[in-house]
Amino acid sequence: MAEVEKIKNITNKSISIIEDASQAHGATREIDGISFKAGSFGQINCFSCYPTKNLGALGDAGIVTTNVESYSNQLKIIRNHGQSSRGQHTDLGHNEKMDEIQAIVLNEKLSMLDQHNSMRREVAHWYFEALQSLDLTLPMTENLNVHTYHQFVIKVRNRKKIIQLFKDEGINLAIHYPQLIHQHECLNDLNIKTNKFPNAEKISQEILSLPMGPHLHKNDVDKVSTLLKQALEF
């Protein structure tokens, strides 16, 4: 998790925090000896429950949390076509209601979230043990944070070759994400020149997401680690 306490310190009555915890369901950060969950810092907090997320539905779904009553009331109106009561449209809203099948699935999976996150941490632990001596950069976790490894992202030099070698073995490696926000065509109007964000640009060329999830076993991690060792020897 980010250093949210620092972000909180610069907010005031006219600046609110909208926290996006979509890749951190269940992650925690300790502040002044107290453990806080991702999605509890902002006035409004968002969780995507897209199927690949740590708390994933069977299709599109998402959650918004807030402790501010007026926001809660307003959000309920907006998600229901702007209706404050049946047939009474007090606002211009959207159709953003979570369908009930997804709600049932998410309720069930919510009870397993902590366990699944622990299993992800165990998978991460196996990766750390197997990869620590290799010529690559492993993810780091600040002492105050409990990571939930939505992704296990490493940095490597010869990404293309590694991806190809894994592909030959039937394993798809992903990149989260290959293109930076300002490099997308829809933001061309901002006219942001190459090298404006040199660190982000460099890192986006080196990152690689290894297979990660509570379903993985030690032998899966061993196979990935062995392949990675071979790829780095090229």
Ligand X SMILES: Cc1ncc(COP(=O)(O)O)c(C=O)c1O
Would you give the DSSP letter of residue 138?
A: -
Backbone angles phi, psi at 83, to 5 degrees: -90, 125
Residue 73, C-beta contacts closer than 8 angstroms, at least 6 positions apart: none
> Nearest distance from residue 114's CB to ligand X, in Å?
20
Task: Kindly tell me which of 120 and 231 has the beta carbon lying closer to ligand X.
Answer: 120
Long-range CB contact pairs, 154-160, < 8 A, 24+: 154/207, 154/208, 154/210, 155/203, 155/206, 155/207, 155/208, 156/206, 156/208, 156/232, 157/206, 158/231, 158/232, 158/234, 159/205, 159/206, 159/207, 159/208
Binding span for ligand X by CB under 6 A among 18-26, 99-107, 109-117, 180-188: 18-26
> Residue 62, interface with ligand X (CB under 6 A)?
yes
Task: Kindly tell me which of 175 and 232 has the beta carbon lying closer to ligand X.
Answer: 175
Residue choice 4, 7, 17, 20 for contact with ligand X (CB under 6 A): 20
> Residue 22, interface with ligand X (CB under 6 A)?
yes
Residue choice 23, 65, 83, 204 for contact with ligand X (CB under 6 A): 23
Shortest Cβ contact with ligand X: which residue?
48
Task: Kindly tell me which of 38 and 231 has the beta carbon lying closer to ligand X.
Answer: 38
Task: Kindly tell me which of 20 and 122 has the beta carbon lying closer to ligand X.
Answer: 20
Binding to ligand X by CB under 6 A, coded x per residue (else -) over 30-59, reads: ------------------x-x---------
| Calpha distance 92→138 (Å, rounded) | 46
Q: Is 86 helix (H, G, I), strand (E, B) or coil?
A: coil
Binding site for ligand X (CB under 6 A): 20, 22-23, 48, 50, 60, 62
